[in-house]
Amino acid sequence: MTNCSTKYLIVLLIFTSIFFGFGIRQSQACHPTDREALLDFKRRITSDPSKLLGNWIPSKDCCRLWDGIECDPSTGRVIKLERSGVSIDDSDVRVDTPMSGTLSPFLGNLSSLQLLNLAKLQNLTGPIPFELGKLTNLREMYLGANSLEGSIPSSIENMGLLQILSLSQNHLVGPIPHDLFKKMTSLIYLFFNDNNLSGSIPPSIGNMKSVQYIYLFNNDLSGPIPSSIGNLRRVNTLNLGNNNLSGNIPTSIRNMMGLVNIIFNNNNFTGVIPSQLANLRGLQYLDLSVNSLTGNIPEGILNMESLGQFNVSWNRLSGKIPPHKFDFPASDFAGNTGLCGAPLAPCNN
């Protein structure tokens, strides 16, 4: 009996040693390529008062001991880099943690990276490196609320797995690259708002079959809305306000059956309000104010059951406002000298 027990314990010890030894071997240290890329990023940071990169010390393993870094334990490759400029303290109070410097092109060597969050650091300047286009495994990229300059690199079009792309609230200029959205069939959130982007909205926007939120407002975009936008059946919010967009509102928008919010205010749109907007049964918010739209207000739109906010003020609309069940204020129709009827003054005839 004793011999059997001894043999059993020996077998168990051997198995345990093999098992745990295998587990240890699987937890790889930080890959040298990734370590050097991160250190180059740190070298380009000129001010870090909150010490967001304080424990990024070359002698320590970046996978286990550096804040904001997560690695794949089987390869030692970095999969998450998260050093945003906002944190929540122990009292649930928001604390700003700004950082100054530029983005390193060596970040493009983080070939396994899935999440890049350097948002709200406020003082990151310079261009978005072209080399970031090599991050073909990236799912989420947050670079918003900084002071980044230059144009959007066309290389970003290679990020076909992206689900979130946020470049908002920077100083980006120039056009949106023509084929930027061609491969972005997985993108859900697109935030380019509050920049100085110019040129037209590329037709490739119609390739983003999964997108739900498009924020392009507060830029200097011009030209028409491409008809390909009608391919985007899942969009919840389409905000193109405060640009210089022109031409007719495309009738293909009727195919965007997921739309809840349409914000096209402060542009140069002409032509009539498409009656097909009444097909969007879930539409709750429609702002077409401060454009050059003409013709009548389609009756079907004003009487959509879901519509709670409606604004067509300061256009060139005419005719009698159709009867409607909801109590929209006169300010929603103001600035159209040819309009009459409740809630504006009665029509003469």
Rounded to the nearest 10°, the torsion over CA 249, 255, 261, 266 is -10
Question: Residue 16 above 60 pLDDT?
Answer: no
Q: Does 289 map to a domain?
A: yes
- The mean pLDDT of 266-282, rounded to a whole number, is 96
Per the structure, how many domains does the chain have?
1
**Mean pLDDT over all residues of the chain?**
92
Q: Does 55 map to a domain?
A: no
Binning pLDDT at 50, 70 and 90, where does residue 28 land?
Answer: confident
Binning pLDDT at 50, 70 and 90, where does residue 95 land?
Answer: confident
- List the single range of 11-20, 54-63, 127-136, 319-328 with lowest mean pLDDT: 11-20
Tokens of residue 180, six digits: 């930027």
DSSP calls for 100-151:
EEE--GGGGG-TT--EEE-TT-EEEESBPPGGGGG-TT--EEE--SS--EEP
Q: Does 153 map to a domain?
A: yes
pLDDT at residue 86 in the model: 83
What is the CA 313 to chain-centroid distance, rounded? 29
Q: Does 58 map to a domain?
A: no
CATH number of the domain where residue 102 is located: 3.80.10.10
Q: Does 13 map to a domain?
A: no
CB of 151 closer than 8 Å to CB of 175: yes
Question: Residue 217 above 80 pLDDT?
Answer: yes
pLDDT at residue 19 in the model: 45
What is the CA 148 to chain-centroid distance, rounded? 16
CB of 91 closer than 8 Å to CB of 115: no
Backbone angles phi, psi at 185, to 5 degrees: -80, -10
In tens, the pLDDT along 168-210 reads 999 999 999 999 999 999 999 999 999 999 999 999 999 999 9
pTM for this model (two decimals): 0.90
Per the structure, the complete domain to which residue 254 belongs is given by: 78-340
Q: Does 147 map to a domain?
A: yes
The pairing of strands 115-117 and 140-142 is parallel
pLDDT at residue 23 in the model: 42
Alpha-carbon distance of 63 to 76, in angstroms, equals 7
Q: Does 221 map to a domain?
A: yes
Helix (H, G, I), strand (E, B) or coil at 14: helix
Backbone angles phi, psi at 47, to 5 degrees: -150, 130
Helix H or strand E encompassing 66: none
- The mean pLDDT of 43-68, rounded to a whole number, is 96
Q: Does 288 map to a domain?
A: yes
Binning pLDDT at 50, 70 and 90, where does residue 18 land?
Answer: very low
| Residues composing the chain | 349
Binning pLDDT at 50, 70 and 90, where does residue 25 land?
Answer: very low
Give the residues across from 245 on adjacent strands.
Answer: 223
Binning pLDDT at 50, 70 and 90, where does residue 215 land?
Answer: very high
Neighbours of 232 (CB within 10 A): 24
